[in-house]
Structure 1
């Protein structure tokens, strides 16, 4: 999957043909599970556009031992914002952003919503996964974003890995959400039920 996305960016940089033709080329010969992991038309068009801009060296972005520090790890008030980074040597690197304030709001919320997207993921990551918590007046706000590497396959164990990491925070020691709103993806629902067996999951089309 990672190689096919790289191929799509290369086709964009060459500039031959239309985006649709390049997407068909990138999908050729893949199995059903690989096609699902590769992403939707919107996702692949976003990948194509990023390749068209050619605004970074993809090889360097995926291999450099980038360290998140300074403005990449703190708020403007110099408070911690980077919650976890599994490191550049992790083939499925996970970077989690969640401030203590966000975690405190999450700990007090019994209703959440969550979703992931490929389309807006910053290079070199393949997906962004975000959990939102409900606050006063039934308003939903972000409680943290998770940037996931291209190796992300949307499996239950991957979502459980994220939840296991954030639940290590002492702030969430007694957190027990009773309701979650999400899309139709089964893997994420099973992961949440693993940690919160009594949670009521409402499936909706975002």
Structure 2
């Protein structure tokens, strides 16, 4: 019994250390950017040692990858919470898209996920993260809408997912630099309605 309790305590301590490193890294990646953030800065901000960092992460890139994964997961969760079971597929796509833009409005998220993410991890690496989270949700929403007859039956699912995801990402970047969120939401809803009109 005592050994199990001790192991659990060690695991909890390890999880706390990892979370502290990720939180410090997130702050610095947002404030300074990936390239200008050094690992000594991260461990100093976390109040930990370099040994603790390298125990949990192979290098700075691996730490950035973990931060980006956590951010993408949080965005997908916020997006999915905005969609309820009773919604028509078209409405769910629009509500989910609106929630995505709201989630990306959290300070630093567009930099982490849409600017530094592809730069640091490469387009393929960032796509892998997206496919586990936001893109997966969007693909599911589009497929649901096609099966329900709200979108054309011959719509290429993968290509439509990539194009619509790109439109939402571009909108998020524009909103970040002062674009009107309501106008971007309206334009994106019209894009979806344009597809729906072909069904």
TM-score > 0.5, shorter chain as reference? no
Higher helix share: 2
Higher strand share: 1
Q: Scaled by the length of structure 1, what TM-score is found?
A: 0.30
Q: Which has the higher contact order (CA 8 A, sep 6+)?
A: 2
Q: Scaled by the length of structure 2, what TM-score is found?
A: 0.31
